[in-house]
Homo-oligomer: A and B are copies of this chain.
């Protein structure tokens, strides 16, 4: 908080882009545009809302069957975005422009792009992209799929197909388009702080709003009375419920909105306790759902005054054409921009569908290829025969004896059969089946023509599309990751009419939206690849990826740098699947930002922008990045745009960096109580306290030296403090990283800082692990607490659901334990038990069975790791008894894997196994005293060998490696024993003595290895 409000120091003025609209011009242009498209132009809501979505003109109107097209400005209040007007990009009230199109039209993206043109944006010169970004508000029982729209890398719009709202499934689906006006205007006007936007020709945004930004920030962050707002929240909720009881959804909803805003105020003040947050969300969710149901009921009572939408009927395809000769097949399924993961997934599912269909026919055909970009899945099949071969079917009729009467005339049975087959008595032949004679006729079955088969193929291909999250868009039957918008089916030059639900095939494809002619006629299946290539579209994924890699490498080299293609391979994959026509652009940013920790710079590039960092010879970052536009554009313009975006993001980061540095780690740490971890498990404060106690317990168990112990203690005391920092709130993947950076700058020792970072490691299967012992100790304490507490509250990972990352946690636990053999003093079981004991102090009980399940879950992860590392299954199974201490198990794996390559060791193992197999399972074998006098020489020899080995192993019992080195005499002695001696002697004493000897042999193997598994 700034004690006395002074306007922030603004960045140096830059030349305002000429001809760009002012804020109010932009709004007017949008109002006019959407009015011209038939939308109702309405007003912002008259109580505070966090987004245009909350305005009942969206949230209630998307419900039910009434059509509704609306557009309006919505000043959206986000108390926790309050920054006193100082942050260049963040405001407590920002201005959304909200559009709802219900039912969703067939071409909402195209209409949207026209609106950008209306705003004065040249959509061909700029790089405009639809990047996957889904939306869900569990608190509102609402979700939808869609995109963030990028203008030269800048997110300017949220574009969502609403699927559900107020807990109700939407029908029809509504498209929501939400423009972020300040961002758009900053980009159009080329200014660096929102205050510098021209609001109109004479006044800037800051001149109009800066004081309110400051004062409302003060209110939200510092001055709002907490007790009073708590009371308001409850009063609003009460009134909402009362209005629901009286069947008045409109006033009820306005009070739900007031609840929500008040909650946000309290949250920004850091005044929402754990239990209150959960309770409040539940309350608001229930109220919203009740409002929604009531609203729909009231609309129905009123007879749906705005009419009722009826979904389109499935289409009927035209008659199939005739095709002559073998022809190449082209099926193109056109979609709105797919999420990158769906490009590969769609390729596979369509390929499978096509192959399955083809396999079920006898149609001859050549090579099948399936390729995809974010906007199309293209199937090509070479040389598709004109038709299947014709076949003749023999159709069996009645028994011959029943086919003709005594007079030799056809019986009624035969005549009926013939009538059914369209045959005459002259056509009758006879067949024998299992020795019985039947009459029969032969029927000619012509092969299906290729159009008929292809139609089925296309149908199956479209219907095979299925993503992890699917949506509807207005088609009566289809659902998919994004809407399917067109279908091209050609056999050579012949269009094959196909109707899949309401989707009807045609002969038009769509190329880049920015093309002169975005819709192109396809006259021939041949050369379709060339047609796309001519439009700049690289259909082949490998080729696209190669282009991305080579262009990036080349551009990086132009500034003396490189791109870490392997290290960034996930990102390269993603880039490959979000463009059809990758055009690399080298951008730069100001040198000064290199003062920020490189992790910040990389994270911002990667997460927000999909930019590839450029690295110099010394491995340090260069002030450059590489981005990829989709298709041709004005490179300078797009570069400048992207440079502005990264600058703004780095400004943000630098702002957070500076702001965070003004807060001590202790202060941050003290704020963790306000951050809920999990409803039953409490806040992050609770969690870090548990971790610290566990770390203490483990420190004692490990017997760490004083220095390490102190490092653990201190780091644990500050644990996860950076979760309260602005940087981590913004970029959660920097948790730990920022703790280290901030701790060092706050004067903590490097060891403590490192431990704070390592506590969060490993983040994922591919990322780094702790290197220091204190870091490892904290990492373990962290993971034991998470694992055990999740089992304690039943939040166990299932097939696809693992919200708290328990699987990842267990894998991490194993990795750390494997990486730090010196920390084997605490086994997995020990760790879980210690964590359970600590949870019990917080009143959370974890039963023995539950603990065991957690331990077992870790064991399975370890087993999985070993398997994935290529170890022999037998070896893996053999070491599982030691899996409770994975580092130890690792040693066993190494020894076993190495030793078993040698004959000697294998023989020892065989001897052990043979001994063990004879020993009765589950029966306690008296461990032998010495042999009786009646013992035979083979017994005596084996005993002496065993005694010698036991002596050699003394103090190293169970040490497999030693066993292999000192046990060389065992196999021969054992072999002689088994050859000469009948263990199961009739005399129980003799038998016991012999079993006892074998038990001593078996005991040489120790308890850590399941020798029989080998």
Please give the residue numbers on chain A whose beta carbons come within 8 Å of chain B beta carbons, in ascending order: 4-7, 24-25, 27-28, 31-32, 35, 38-49, 73, 75, 77, 95, 199-203, 206-208, 210-212, 215-216, 218-219, 223-225, 228, 231-232, 235, 238-239, 242-243, 246, 248-251, 298-299, 301-302, 305-306
Contacts and interface: CB of A to CB of B under 8 A. Distances in A.
B215 A249 contact: yes
A28 B42 CA distance: 11
A43 B73 contact: yes
A75 B43 contact: yes
B302 A7 contact: yes
Given A39-B200, A228-B239, 18 more contacts: A24-B41, A35-B200, A38-B201, A43-B44, A44-B44, A46-B46, A46-B47, A47-B48, A212-B250, A216-B250, A219-B243, A219-B250, A223-B246, A223-B248, A223-B251, A224-B251, A231-B231, A232-B235
A40 B203 contact: yes
A92 to B, nearest CB: 11
A35 B28 contact: yes
- 6 residue pairs, one from A and one from B, having the closest CB atoms: A215-B250, A219-B251, A24-B41, A215-B248, A212-B250, A46-B48
Contacts of A243: 219, 223
Given A235-B228, A248-B218, A32 B28 contact: yes
A580 to B, nearest CB: 37
A446 to B, nearest CB: 54
A797 to B, nearest CB: 43
Contact of A24 (B35, B95, B250): B35
A375 to B, nearest CB: 33
Contacts of A225: 238-239, 242
A27 B47 contact: no
Given A49-B46, A251-B223, A305-B7, A246 B218 contact: yes
A235 B265 CA distance: 15
Contact of A232 (B202, B232, B248): B232
- Most chain B beta-carbon contacts within 10 A, residue among A249, A299, A305: A305
Contacts of A32: 28
26 contacts: A6-B302, A24-B35, A24-B41, A24-B42, A28-B35, A28-B41, A35-B200, A40-B208, A41-B200, A42-B208, A43-B95, A44-B44, A46-B46, A46-B48, A46-B77, A47-B48, A203-B306, A211-B299, A211-B302, A211-B305, A215-B249, A215-B251, A218-B246, A219-B248, A228-B235, A232-B232
Contacts of A199: 40
A22 to B, nearest CB: 9
A68 B557 CA distance: 55
A199 B43 CA distance: 12
Nearest to A238: B228
A780 B216 CA distance: 57
A291 B228 CA distance: 20
A319 B219 CA distance: 60
A24 B70 CA distance: 11
Contact of A31 (B28, B40, B219): B28
Nearest to A202: B38
A46 B45 CA distance: 6
A47 B44 contact: no
A676 to B, nearest CB: 26
A46 to B, nearest CB: 5
A53 to B, nearest CB: 15
A274 to B, nearest CB: 25
Contact of A40 (B24, B231, B246, B299): B24
Contacts of A239: 224-225, 228
A232 B239 CA distance: 11
Contacts of A248: 215, 218-219, 223
Contacts of A31: 28, 31
A199 B219 CA distance: 38
Contacts of A39: 200
Contacts of A224: 239, 251
A305 B216 contact: no
B24 A302 contact: no
A268 to B, nearest CB: 13
Q: Which of A40, A95, A212, A224 counts the most chain B CB atoms within 10 A?
A: A40
A203 B243 CA distance: 28
A248 B215 CA distance: 6
Contacts of A232: 232, 235
Contacts of A43: 43-44, 73, 75, 95
Contacts of A77: 46
A212 to B, nearest CB: 5
Contacts of A301: 4-5
Nearest to A215: B250
Contacts of A223: 242-243, 246, 248, 251
A31 B77 CA distance: 24
A1009 B789 CA distance: 107
Contacts of A27: 41
Contacts of A75: 43, 46
A225 B251 CA distance: 12
A5 B216 CA distance: 40
Contacts of A305: 7, 206-207, 210-211
Contacts of A250: 211-212, 215-216, 219
A320 to B, nearest CB: 41
A5 B297 CA distance: 12
A91 to B, nearest CB: 14
A801 B240 CA distance: 47
A18 to B, nearest CB: 19
Contacts of A251: 215-216, 218-219, 223-224
A263 to B, nearest CB: 16
A983 to B, nearest CB: 88
